[in-house]
Amino acid sequence: MADQTYPIPGTLDTTPSRGAALLEWVHSWVVTVDHKKLGILYIAYALVFLLVAGVEAMAIRIQLAIPHNHFLSAELYNEFFTMHGTTMVFLVGMTLIFGFGNYFVPLMIGARDMAFPRLNAFSFWMSAFGGLLLYFSFIGGFGLYGMGSAPDVSWWAYAPLTAKAFSPGHNTDYWALALIVMGFGTLGAAINTLATAFSMRCRGMTLLRMPLFVWLMVVASADTLIVITPLTAAQVMLIIDRYLGGHFFDTQAGGSATVWMHFFWIFGHPEVYVLILPAFGIASEVIPVFSRKAIFGYPAMVAASVGIAFVSLSVWAHHMFTIGMTSVSNAFFALSTMMVGIPTGIKIFNWVATMWGGKIRFATPMLFCTAFLFQFLCAGLTGIMLAVAPWDWQLHNSYFVIAHFHYTLTGSFVFCFFAAIYYWYPKITGRMLSETLGKWHFWLFFIGFHMTFDTMHFVGFLGMPRSSYTYEPDRGWTTLNMIISAGGLIQAVAVLILVWNIIDSFLHGPLAGNDPWDAWTLEWSTPSPPPPYNFETEPVVRSRRPLWDIKHPNDPDWKYER
């Protein structure tokens, strides 16, 4: 049968119907193993949850804008700040770094795909379903309060609040299980990134010629391996306690609530370095290109990144100064925390030295990275203040701490990833984002950010505690809280401008061409968007700036680089 052909009468209409074409298109995204498509899926997924967690943050800020507000009940407030934190760290932060890592690590090292394309797809879908599981709790997690109840134990979920007696229902289980599922996805993505960076490099791409973004993804992935897994282990223990009647964190049976704190922060503190390291990578790509200079002190940047990863593993108990550790432990964790300032200081000086004397173009990506430099410096300084144990005894659990870590996570991480969106959007879609809207986005977000988080330092000094759903009018916090909430609203408007910019530029933006920024790394040598195979022929690299060598054959980098 099969080897015979039959003439078909009339003409055959080969164009599928609209419905079939749509189905085909959706199918191609669901079954894809292409690192670029998966990267886009990661980034889109992160942006959707950025909006969701942003809405949660806005609800929190509306509730706190005036004292004795009744916008959110106390129960709902607990759910919202728990979900805001969990979503921002796991569904936005981790997916953004592995989204951009997925898309650009293979392109930057001249590879055609990740080392394990199918593991890559598996990792993404594990993360995606973990996120859905977490959010299904809003309708599925029977808690104390009847139908549907999201996790409300805050993102660090201290024992014994998570015990069955104090958190009945299933909302805490949704939290633990979702994080385990996402943890497996993250672990797969980290392993894949490491294997790609070590085993898929094109000819001549030695380790010390890799772009700094790739280096930082390598360091962050290596950190992920030993950071996410303790969280998974601790969550398994929590599930054993809750379902099998175990006693790990059951203080009445000899268990210890402090052990949970240690296990959680062994994960929790290095986790923020996992998030910030790829952000450093973005700054290290954007700042040289827009300053028209090669990065200053490349080997020092690599060494400092590895140094940060190592030091970050020994600082976790600075979250626990107030539980009454021995003075030796306090001193150790205070000093090790302050030591983080040395490699990060090296990085800041190198970025400033890269800009020094450069021909700086303040396009939107560069604006975000410049703001990042100053905000990260402030975040680092308040971090060193909080590392001083007696200072921490005063300000622990106050809004000063909230201000500090939002300076690192919003002021540094989010600013760098906004820069990344403006910098690489032309490569991903083939169209430029609007510079006018970009400038509006930057300035509004910048002003809103400082209104909100600068002011938070002061309500922290005045003693306002975190995680409480309202406050008394006679404390002197009212005006400051109104300013904080107004700043939040301005940031929300700025993010909506970004969303509009992304959608509108996708349809009407000017065409980008291969290399709109006149940049130097390999991804800009491919068409925009790159074809499925990335490179027609495998590139050969002789320096850290391969495109510079091609553009300036009389003055190539490899003559000077050592």
Nearer to other proteins, 19 or 254 (CB): 254
Q: If we measure between CA atoms, which residue out of 418, 453, 425 comes closest to residue 439?
A: 418
- How many helices and strands in the chain, by DSSP H and E? 18, 0
Q: Report the alpha-carbon distance of residue 308 to residue 489 in Å, rounded.
A: 34
**CB closer to other proteins out of 216 and 369:** 216
Of the candidates 33, 62, 233, 360, which one interacts with other proteins according to CB under 8 A?
233
| Closest separation in Å from C-beta 193 to other proteins | 9
Question: For other proteins, which stretch binds (CB under 8 A), given 70-78, 235-243, 383-391, 508-516?
Answer: 235-243
The reply on whether position 346 binds other proteins by CB under 8 A is no
- If one asks whether residue 228 binds other proteins (CB under 8 A), the answer comes out as yes
Does residue number 244 form part of the binding site for other proteins (CB under 8 A)? Answer: yes
Q: Which amino acid is at 125?
A: W
Name the nearest CA neighbour of 378 among 342, 414, 411: 411
Distances (CA, A) of 118 to 30, 31, 115: 12, 10, 9
Residues 366, 291: Cα–Cα separation, whole Å: 9
Report DSSP letters for 238-298, one per residue.
HHHHHHS---TT-GGGT--HHHHHHHHHHHHHHHHHHHHHHHHHHHHHHHHHHHTSPPTTH
C-beta closer to other proteins: residue 515 or 561: 561
Among 72, 150, 194, 464, binds other proteins (CB under 8 A): 194
Asked whether position 324 contacts other proteins by CB under 8 A, the answer is no
Q: Does 510 bind other proteins (CB under 8 A)?
A: no
Q: Which residue has the tokens 């060598």?
A: 549
Q: Cβ–Cβ contacts within 10 Å for residue 521, how many? A: 24
Between residue 245 and residue 284, which ones bind other proteins under the rule CB under 8 A? Answer: 245-248, 253-256, 259, 263, 266
φ, ψ dihedrals at 11, nearest 5°:
-95, 150
Taking CB under 8 A as the binding criterion, the range among 32-40, 222-230, 359-367, 491-499 that sits at the site for other proteins is: 222-230
Based on CB atoms, which residue is closest to other proteins, 184 or 440? 184
Nearer to other proteins, 123 or 137 (CB): 123
User: Among 90, 85, 104, 79, which residue's Cα sits nearest to residue 46?
Assistant: 90
Contact segment (CB under 8 A) with other proteins among 141-149, 297-305, 481-489, 539-547 equals 539-547
Residue 196 interacting with other proteins (CB under 8 A): yes
Question: CA 332, CA 181: separation in Å to the nearest integer?
Answer: 34
Q: Contact residues for other proteins (CB under 8 A)?
A: 115-116, 187, 190-192, 194-196, 198-201, 203-204, 206, 208-209, 221-222, 225-230, 232-234, 236-237, 240-241, 244-248, 253-256, 259, 263, 266, 540-542, 558-562
